[in-house]
Amino acid sequence: MGVKEDFIDYLKVKRRYSQRTVRLYGDAVEDFLRHSFPEKELSDEDILSALKFQPIRGYVSSLMDRGFDPRTVNLHLSALSTFCNFLVKQQKLPSNPVKEIVRPKEKKRLPSFFSPEALKLYFDTPVADGYLSVRGRMIVTLLYDTGLRRAEAASLRLGDIDISRRTISIIGKGNKQRMVPIVDSLVEKIGDYLLLREEFQKEHNKEGDSFFLTDAGGPAYPEFINRTVKAELSKAKGLSGKKTPHTLRHSFATSLLNNGADLNSIKEALGHSSLAATEVYTHNSFEKLKEIYKTAHPRAKTKK
């Protein structure tokens, strides 16, 4: 196999990306190579020769000329950067040239979140018996009640949860450690979940301390958390928007802010390195305030 095929195999096997993500990354790399060599059967040497600063910068310009928005251009660059990082690890490239590219600025988008009413309806829906059903609900509950990232949930170990202190120990981005409090209702659900988890692990003759287990009894991984959340929330009524772990994280932060939590506390809970990253949630709160103003303030009501 060539370097391109090796890269696709790496995304599927090592990174465990979804079929859609593998296809998108593969298409982005192929689009770049077709731009560099429009009518040529490519060798590995051709591919490596194209992965330099000038050809990539020219490719970015061509994407903009073709009418691609900055977000799409950056997605293409992310795919190329992942490809280059793979080749650096394989010692086929000395460094990643994409890191030198100035990326086009994207318009800031407000974080999407689920309404408390829609989430309450979901959590009030009974859960079927068995580990797999309870696991799906547990993943969604944990993400919404703690604001964990999907990678943090996937890497969670049994020893990270201290029931007596009502805390979870998390190693987040940049190996930054933080303690996240857990409410009593979550503690009770964790206890019920762990009993089913133990039985399920024994049935599959598996060992290990991963908090979440796959269908085969192995340790969870980020894409598995992603797929489980999507499948779980797709069954729920009234939940509009993307069914992702990140939307649950946004919902957690927005709920805290709308219920009086200060930004510094939310920053610590989310594991943000700076307050600027947390301040985006004030925009969601302000949008809610505007809606309340429109319906409640006597001077804001439209005269008939």
* Active site (catalytic) residues: 149, 173, 246, 249, 272, 281
CA 216 – CA 135 distance, rounded (Å): 13
Q: Which residues contact 222 (CB under 8 A, 6 or more apart)?
A: 16, 150, 151, 154
Quote the tokens at residue 166: 């009502």
Quote the tokens at residue 50: 């194209």
Quote the tokens at residue 9: 């195999």
Q: Are 288 and 150 in contact (CB under 8 A)?
A: no
Quote the tokens at residue 219: 């340790």
Complete DSSP assignment for 172-217: -GGG-EEEEE--HHHHHHHHHHHHHHHHHHHHTT----BSSB-TTS
Quote the tokens at residue 204: 């599959």
Q: Which residues contact 158 (CB under 8 A, 6 or more apart)?
A: 194, 209, 210, 211
Q: What is the DSSP letter of 157?
A: B
What residue has token string 């998390």? 170
Quote the tokens at residue 81: 């950067």
Q: Which of 154, 29, 152 is CA-nearest to residue 86?
A: 29
Q: Are 212 and 156 in contact (CB under 8 A)?
A: yes
CA 187 – CA 248 distance, rounded (Å): 19
